[in-house]
Chain A
Amino acid sequence: MSLSNTAVASETRWQAVCQAGDLVADSGVVVWHEGEQVALFYLPGQGRELYAVGNRDPRSGANIIGRGLVASLGATVVVAAPLYKQHFCLQNGNCLEDQTQRLPVWPVRIRGMTVELGQRLR
């Protein structure tokens, strides 16, 4: 086995999911992507403007994360799940209150007028 196995795949396969105009500033929308529900959060003017995490709330089992409130707690940008108000880090999907809860995250970018997702990270 060579060390190259541990390196991150150099080439991300990007796929268009929606238009930039579908995003709502300082808030979330949800896209259907290869059988999964992905919540996209758009924070124009911030250090990082776009985040993509799973839409399913592990606590309730309902697909609602995209409808949560975006917040900053210290340096962490989070979304508050609408039903039980637990917070998930938008960067890595970790729940701040409960280590056993985690959201999957996707690389996400805007190319021209198109929003693109990479492969799910976890």
Chain B
Amino acid sequence: MQATANGAQRARLVIVGNGMVGHHCVEQLIERGATAHFELHVFGEERQRAYDRVHLSEYFTGSCAETLALCAPDYYSRHGVHLHLGETVLDIDRERRELVTAEGRLGYDQLILATGSYPFVPPIEGSSGNARLVYRTLEDLDAIRAAAADARRGVVVGGGLLGLEAANALKSLGLEAHVVEFAPRLMPVQLDSEGGAALKARIEALGVGVHLSRATQSISPGEQYRYRMNFDGGEHLETDLIVFSAGIRPQDALGRACGLEIAARGGVVIDSQCGTCDPRIFAIGECASWNGSVFGLVAPGYAMARNLAARLLGEAADDFTGADMSTKLKLLGVDVGSIGDAHGATPGSRSYRFIDEANSAYRRLVVDASGKHVLGAVLVGDNSYYDTLLQYAQNGIALPADPAALILPQGGGAPALGADALPDSATICSCHNVSKGAVCAAIDSGCGDLAAVKGCTKAASGCGGCAALLKQVFEHELTARGVTVDKSLCEHFAYTRQELYGLVRVEGIRTFGELLERHGKGHVGCDICKPAVGNILASCWNQPIMDPALVPLQDTNDTFMANMQKNGTYSVVPRIPGGEITPQKLIVIGQVAQKYDLYTKITGGQRIDLFGAQLHELPLIWGELIAAGFETGHAYGKSTRTVKSCVGSTWCRYGVQDSVAMALRLEDRYKGLRSPHKLKFAVSGCTRECAEAQSKDIGVIATDKGWNLYVCGNGGMRPRHAELFATDLDDETLVRLIDRVLMFYIRTADKLQRTSVWREGLEGGLEYLKQVVIDDSLGLAAELEAQMQQVVDRYECEWANALGDPEKLKRFRTFVNDQRADPDVHFVRERGQRRPAAPLQLIPTHEEAM
């Protein structure tokens, strides 16, 4: 026992082995607060702290030891765990309860063996040096890399899962790779002969040699290559290096030496609580044998680690009752899946098989004698069938009338199992062992959205592969509980934006008050419905947003027609159509910026942003800009922003159309158009695409014959390439199609939904959009164009409108009863311009009563 600072006694818990399972056990212990009760020691034979052996081959394709590491360098020390790396445990003195290492002895109260396994190398005459490499540790990989340096060809002995991984590693080192397998097929444990054949065909197509039913008798010096492998049939294969991957053996030497019970086929014998015959010693992972079996996958090892950690801390823990060895892998880029009784070994079982020799794809479904339940499956070439088949197999779900449909090619991808068909025990997230029942429990305990369910259960927070399934289950369960997903805009309107748009248009509603009275609740509205309705009214009728009935609807940016910045001042963006500007206008912008001391920056949309204006300065600044011929740039609105362009055929030797002229035409047409979210355009003069049109809501790229139109692209947080919508359009058709796309978007999108998200949610996708816009499948085209024309005809520069109306200008007063500027706005100078002072300096002096 160890005395802690406060005198409490902590038992000493020692973990021998710092591989994936040993490390997972430490993590589980720390997570459960073990360091309060135990003094933890971890011994690792390797110098490297625990790393990801599953992705070992990435060591040859860019990953280094550090990126493969399973935790931060200070993880152990930060949690007060003593990590002894490069220190081999030589013996366990069970009588004195001490470990023996080269450094000395260390007493233990409890001990966990997590020593893993070692590669089995069959005794073959002449195998040594580069003819006796193995594939297990980073050191092994260093040895392989060194051997490969002056080699042309490499052979892997063993065509199992790890052997194929090793072959992949040799291939990525630039070697001609061969696989030699003793059995008549690849992956004999997981695949049947047809599956093995399909995999062989695929791997050979990748340039990897596959030699089956070969037993290596001896290794002798080669003629063309360094070594010659002599097979028992008299054939031979020459190579420069040989990697053995013919299976693993439990690393149970310590257990044997100290007299623990060892299984017939190796491994320290454990019970379902991971206990050995010594009550103070436990074993987990590949060094342990449960019920005569050693589990050579990481998931069962993790399960043992998790259960044991819980049990050591006195928590309720599951028993280890064996593991499902179903696997889904990508080997040398080929999908391979194996579920349950893949070989159909169960008496009475029957199989359905799908063989596609043209594409080397194979699928087998093994069902029980009754034909009602899945026993197993084999997949080669396409794992999209895996998840559904696994759910059927693991949860005993009754098969559909035609089970073959589960493995036959489907027009729309693999058939998915509905969320309702899954039993509560179905595993949704295998990384964190979350069942459907756990998800349901989380919903019942009040998790109202997907994020809450993820936070509560940890589901979909591992590899994330189950995210789609989780969402499906979540939504299905909500519906099952009678919860309709509420799509009301807010508490004042039980309608979606699209529905409100329809009401406004059909009933000719012109004000918020009118809409609220007829279709809403209350008298005031809120900061969700007011801007949304203001936006709909503007999209429909395009009245000046400074009209008294509309002013209270706008967010501050629309109200004051400028963009509020962090210190309450505004930025001003005059429209510079297509990014084209005369020197004279450029000078005016410079003069205005100088006069009002505005911070000046070029924007991404080919215009100029002027920062730091106070409310009362906005009309003065705009007075000068409008006098020089500028218009508002609508940088503050959910509306058309800019049409970016390259110089096009006018100047550029590659340009094939006048992109600037087209950009000017588009910007002039759509300026002032209010929409569910901002709209960005670009026009490129040739296929080199200098205007980056494919990242815009509306992108236009010149061709020899006219214009290609791209729609629904997006930069920003979630970039999305615009999709090619129509090709070789003349000017008039281009504009007509853009009219229709934009108006259809305005009519049907949700509030604050960019075209990219709208398009992704559009049932029927791009094809549907083409049908509506190009083929006029809804008979809407003329109406959409007419609506757009109405908006275009009513365009008016909002700032010019406001400056002409003294009543509207009254709003641009910092104080309605005082001429002073806001005394709390402070600037400092940086790089020749002013910028907001640090927050501390912003705090007003009259703070005392707050």
Residues of A that sit less than 8 Å from B by CB: 17-18, 22, 24-27, 29-33, 35-37, 43, 45-46, 56-58, 60-64, 67-74, 77, 80, 82-83, 85, 87, 102, 104, 120, 122
Contact = CB atoms under 8 A, between A and B. Distances in A.
Nearest to B836: A62
B568 A17 contact: no
Contacts of B524: 26, 43, 46, 70-72, 77
B846 A35 contact: yes
Contact of A72 (B522, B548, B552, B850): B522
Q: Which of A72, A87, A102 gathers most chain B CB within 10 Å?
A: A72
B822 interface: yes
A62 B525 contact: no
A75 to B, nearest CB: 9
6 contacts: A26-B524, A26-B551, A30-B815, A62-B568, A64-B564, A72-B526
B568 to A, nearest CB: 3
Contacts of A63: 568, 822, 824-825, 844
Contacts of A36: 846
Nearest to B810: A22
B58 interface: no
A73 B526 contact: yes
B531 interface: yes
Interface in B485-510: 491-492
Interface in B526-560: 526-527, 530-531, 548, 551-552, 554-557, 559-560
Given A63-B824, A67-B559, 10 more contacts: A22-B817, A26-B551, A26-B552, A31-B815, A32-B820, A64-B564, A67-B556, A71-B526, A72-B525, A87-B527
Given A26-B552, A45-B523, A64-B568, A122 B849 contact: yes
A31 B566 contact: no
A71 to B, nearest CB: 4
Contacts of B564: 64, 67, 82-83
A32 B492 CA distance: 34
Given A18-B816, A29-B816, A60-B566, A69 B849 contact: no
Nearest to B815: A32
A32 B548 contact: no
A83 to B, nearest CB: 7
B844 A56 contact: yes
B559 A62 contact: no
A102 B850 contact: yes
Q: Which of B526, B554, B820 gathers most chain A CB within 10 Å?
A: B526
A39 B844 CA distance: 16
Contacts of A35: 846
Contacts of B846: 35-36
B7 interface: no
Q: Which of A22, A58, A71, A102 gathers most chain B CB within 10 Å?
A: A71
Contacts of A57: 568
B523 to A, nearest CB: 6
Interface in B792-823: 810-811, 813-818, 820, 822
B130 interface: no
Given A63-B568, A82-B555, A30 B527 contact: no
B811 A24 contact: yes
A6 to B, nearest CB: 20
Interface in B814-841: 814-818, 820, 822, 824-825, 839
B847 to A, nearest CB: 9
Contact of A62 (B566, B817, B818, B850): B566
A104 B849 contact: yes
A72 B822 CA distance: 28
B530 A69 contact: yes
B802 to A, nearest CB: 14
A30 B568 contact: no
Contacts of B277: none
B842 interface: yes
A122 B850 CA distance: 8
A71 B817 contact: no
A69 B817 CA distance: 21
B567 interface: yes
B551 A27 contact: yes
A2 B526 CA distance: 46
Contact of B850 (A58, A82, A85): A58
Contacts of B523: 45-46, 72
Closest 7 CB pairs of A and B: A62-B568, A71-B526, A26-B552, A72-B524, A32-B818, A80-B527, A82-B556
Interface size class on chain B is 35 or more
Given A22-B810, A61-B842, A73 B817 contact: no
A90 to B, nearest CB: 11
B257 interface: no
Nearest to A101: B850
Contact of B552 (A25, A32, A102): A25
B843 interface: yes
Interface in B670-712: none
Contacts of B850: 58, 102, 104
Contacts of B820: 32
A30 B816 CA distance: 6
Contact of B491 (A45, A67, A74): A74
A108 to B, nearest CB: 13
Q: Which of B525, B556, B559, B825 gathers most chain A CB within 10 Å?
A: B556
B560 A67 contact: yes
Contacts of A18: 816-817
A61 B839 contact: yes
B522 A64 contact: no
A33 B839 CA distance: 24
Nearest to A62: B568
Contact of A61 (B522, B556, B816, B843): B843
A63 B836 CA distance: 14
A120 B850 CA distance: 11
A57 B567 CA distance: 10
A120 B492 CA distance: 33
B814 to A, nearest CB: 7
B515 to A, nearest CB: 14
Contacts of A80: 526-527
Contacts of A22: 810, 816-817
B552 A71 contact: no
Q: Which of B524, B815, B818 gathers most chain A CB within 10 Å?
A: B815
B527 A69 contact: yes
A93 B192 CA distance: 73
A56 to B, nearest CB: 6
A71 B525 contact: yes
Contacts of A30: 814-816
B568 A69 contact: no
A23 to B, nearest CB: 8
A20 B551 CA distance: 18
A83 B566 contact: yes
Q: Which of A29, A32, A69, A83 gathers most chain B CB within 10 Å?
A: A69
Nearest to B548: A25
A45 B662 CA distance: 50
A73 B491 contact: yes
A102 B551 CA distance: 26
Nearest to B824: A63
Interface string B263-300: 00000000000000000000000000000000000000
A34 to B, nearest CB: 9
Contacts of A122: 849
A43 B523 CA distance: 10
A69 B560 contact: no
Nearest to B813: A29
Contacts of B567: 60-62
Contacts of B560: 67
Given A35-B846, A46-B524, A104-B849, A17 B556 contact: no
Contacts of B839: 61
Contacts of B814: 30
Contacts of A61: 567, 824, 839, 842-843
Nearest to B567: A62
